[in-house]
A and B are shown apart, each in its own frame.
Chain A
Amino acid sequence: EAGVTQSPRYAVLQEGQAVSFWCDPISGHDTLYWYQQPRDQGPQLLVYFRDEAVIDNSQLPSDRFSAVRPKGTNSTLKIQSAKQGDTATYLCASSFGGGEVFFGKGTRLTVV
């Protein structure tokens, strides 16, 4: 069974640039999570979906971050006008119901 796939693996931006991260969850998984993990910290939940519906995006900086999962499968997380404070690894994860959560390898973002 293929795991959670994320791309790109790395991104380097200048402040003010935009970037999109893509996630392909495990087939059949209804719940998809996006986490931000700054260096030397635990993953912080940004947003999660059940199927195509956003369940909770309260931790997403809504003025610059957006996330969609239009068909309840793949998902895109976008940062408009990146800031140095956005430097982190962005992790996507998926699960089916309350089962085990599987993580992708992450996208490491550096904003200079």
Chain B
Amino acid sequence: QQKVQQSPESLTVSEGAMASLNCTFSDGTSNNFRWYRQHSAKGLEVLVSIFSDGEKEEGRFTAHLNRANLHVSLHIREPQPSDSAVYLCAVSMWGRTNAYKVIFGKGTHLHVLP
């Protein structure tokens, strides 16, 4: 059973300082990784998707994937108070009968101080 764990649970940074979030997964056959942002009581906004080892940048958001270490991270450059939200790591893998299964971590609460 795939387990997805995020750390830290909560992170406070000052505006302009780099924010780094971590996600580990247990199933080495996972092949698709996404970071989402969720503002309070709002829907899920996809930030960056990554499919192969290395780095993928989307604006101020950069994901790093290291499949051997079962680890994917998200780095937010120059965070702003409006980036304060819950950040969710989603890990996907082919499940039974070729259907794609998507499992989420519990999230990291990011607080950006002005």
Contact = CB atoms under 8 A, between A and B. Distances in A.
Interface bracket on A: 20 to 34
Contacts, number: 64
A31 B107 contact: no
Given A42-B105, A55-B95, A95 B44 contact: no
Given A42-B107, A43-B88, A101-B90, A31 B49 contact: no
Given A101-B90, A105-B43, A50 B107 contact: no
Give the size category of B's interface with A: 20 to 34
B74 to A, nearest CB: 14
Interface of A: 31, 33, 35, 40-45, 48-50, 53, 55-56, 91, 93, 95, 97-98, 100-101, 103-106, 108
Q: What are the nearest 8 A-B pairs in CB distance?
A: A50-B99, A42-B104, A55-B99, A42-B106, A42-B107, A103-B44, A43-B104, A98-B100
10 contacts: A40-B109, A41-B107, A42-B6, A44-B104, A53-B97, A55-B96, A55-B101, A100-B34, A101-B34, A106-B43
